[in-house]
């Protein structure tokens, strides 16, 4: 009996500079990519980065930060910082609890864009929402896998947040933030049951909210 033919594997394409080149050709000069990291964790800030790449110095190997090893992210982080305009903003857990994670994410994006040394005239944002910006903006679902500028922003945001969580872990090692970046791993949940939440936990997130761990 013949085995059924296997389905061809879908190869995910890497991000490119096509959108940015089209915008440059249309007369836009400064195009920023924006992405965030940290919407889902139970602890720590949400971090957004805004990056304006230099078309003459595009780092080789840029991709969605989730597809890269930590060592590769660190190397690309240094290269992006060397050749691009970069700004980062973070919103801490208490503010996330007060205004909700969606609004906190949009606020971090706006602050990152506004903190750029050069004001962009067009922004490419990963996701579905474009925050209120001082310039034109465009949302790209899966943008970190489509646009090099957004991919660069995803790397800056990821490396920045991971380092922040490592520092939080040094300050209070009970929760193991350096190992899981605040996500709800078995170790993290067990630590919450033993110690209760700390000042960097998001009390509006399940299971802290649903199980009364904030009490």
Q: What is the pLDDT of residue 11?
A: 47
Average pLDDT over residues 151-155: 97
- Work out the angle between the directed axes of helices 148-171 and 70-83 (0-180°, nearest 10): 120
**138 strand-pairing partners:** 124
Mean model confidence pLDDT for the chain:
92
Fold (CATH) for 18-195: Nucleotidyltransferase; domain 5 (3.30.420)
- The CA-atom distances, in angstroms, between 61 and each of 17, 77, 125, 128, 133 are 12, 11, 20, 25, 29
Q: How confident is the model over 18-53, as pLDDT tens digits?
A: 999 999 999 999 999 999 999 999 999 999 999 999
Q: What is the pLDDT of residue 13?
A: 75
Identify the band that residue 7 occupies on the pLDDT scale cut at 50, 70 and 90: low
Distance from C-alpha of 165 to C-alpha of 169, rounded to nearest angstrom: 6
**How do the domains of the chain map onto residue ranges?**
18-195
Q: What is the pLDDT of residue 214?
A: 42
pTM: 0.91
Residue 9 has pLDDT above 90, yes or no: no
Average pLDDT over residues 109-118: 98
């Amino acid at each position: 009996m013949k085995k059924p033919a296997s389905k061809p594997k879908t190869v995910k394409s890497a991000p490119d500079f096509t959108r940015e080149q089209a915008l440059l050709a249309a007369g836009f000069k400064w195009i920023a990519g924006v992405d965030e990291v940290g919407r889902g964790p139970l602890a720590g800030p949400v971090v957004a980065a805004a990056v304006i790449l230099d078309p003459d110095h595009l780092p080789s190997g840029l991709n969605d930060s989730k597809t890269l090893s930590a060592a590769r992210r660190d190397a690309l982080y240094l290269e992006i910082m060397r050749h691009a305009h970069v700004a980062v903003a973070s919103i801490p857990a208490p503010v996330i609890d007060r205004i909700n994670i969606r609004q906190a994410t949009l606020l971090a994006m706006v602050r990152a864009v506004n903190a750029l040394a050069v004001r962009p005239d067009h922004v490419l944002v990963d996701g579905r929402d474009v925050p209120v910006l001082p310039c034109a903006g465009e949302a790209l679902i899966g943008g970190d896998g489509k646009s090099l500028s957004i991919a660069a922003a995803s790397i800056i945001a990821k490396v920045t947040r991971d380092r922040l969580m490592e520092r939080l872990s040094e300050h209070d090692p009970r929760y193991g933030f350096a190992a899981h970046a605040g996500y709800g791993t078995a170790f993290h949940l067990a630590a919450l049951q033993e110690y209760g939440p700390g000042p960097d936990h998001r009390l509006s997130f399940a299971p802290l909210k649903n199980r009364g761990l904030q009490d």
